[in-house]
Amino acid sequence: GENVEQHPSTLSVQEGDSAVIKCTYSDSASNYFPWYKQELGKGPQLIIDIRSNVGEKKDQRIAVTLNKTAKHFSLHITETQPEDSAVYFCAASKRENYGQNFVFGPGTRLSVLP
Amino acid sequence: KAGVTQTPRYLIKTRGQQVTLSCSPISGHRSVSWYQQTPGQGLQFLFEYFSETQRNKGNFPGRFSGRQFSNSRSEMNVSTLELGDSALYLCASSLTRQGGSPLHFGNGTRLTVT
């Protein structure tokens, strides 16, 4: 089955710096890759996603890149702010006969230091 | 539009008891999935319901069960609780079961088994 690895497990950056989180997946049939942000006491919130027919997607300070050949995708956060501190999860999904199948990475705890 | 609503937010139960968790999906969303989140195992898929039928099931014992009602609301039941069932239980809804339909999570129910 699909396996998603995520690195680093923890990341500390200074406010204003950039943060990059990387994920790799094993199943070449996976074609949808969302990223989630989970703040303390809340459920994961979708922040950006990318489909396999696209190489890069941006939304203000957040961008995601996808390399299908290498089977990895990355989350880039620029001009980090304290409110970006949270746990971030990547996921890989593909269409199965019974519907979608999401496999999540183990998460990255991002701390933005003021 | 209201998000995914899960009740209750917190539950404390003793070993051997049973528990029922409730989830109301985003209006118009017909697919409801349940996940167990623990520090050691991350986000683990429990099951998915669509049109009142279980469509997919994760690798959990039969003590974990669920159902979906005609209004798409879903309940999850855990019988004969064990200490290891202590976790955050997350419900997620999606618009369709087609590939590339993102999951939208609720804030979860924190279950503590003593």
Give the whole-angstrom CA distance, residue A68 versus residue A28.
8
Tens of pLDDT, residues A60-101: 999 999 999 999 999 999 999 999 999 999 999 987 766 778
**Whether A44 and B106 lie within 8 Å, measured CB to CB:** no
Calpha distance B4→B26 (Å, rounded): 5
Beta strands A4-7 and A56-59 are unpaired
CB B105 to CB A102 under 8 A? no
**Total CB pairs under 8 A between chain A and B:** 61
Which of B68, B91, B103, B104 is most worth mutating to test chain A (most A CB atoms within 10 A of its CB)? Answer: B103
The distance of B96 to chain A (nearest Cα, Å) reads: 9
Nearest-Cα distance to chain B for A44, in Å, is: 6
CA distance A1 to A103: 9
Q: Round the average pLDDT of chain B to a whole number and report it.
A: 94
Contact A57, A47 (CB under 8 A): no
pLDDT in tens, A27-45: 999 999 999 999 999 999 9
A42, A94, A107 member nearest B107 (Cβ): A42
Is B97's Cβ below 8 Å from some Cβ in A?
Answer: yes
Across chain B, which has 114 residues, the per-10-residue mean pLDDT values are 93 98 95 93 91 91 97 97 97 85 95 98
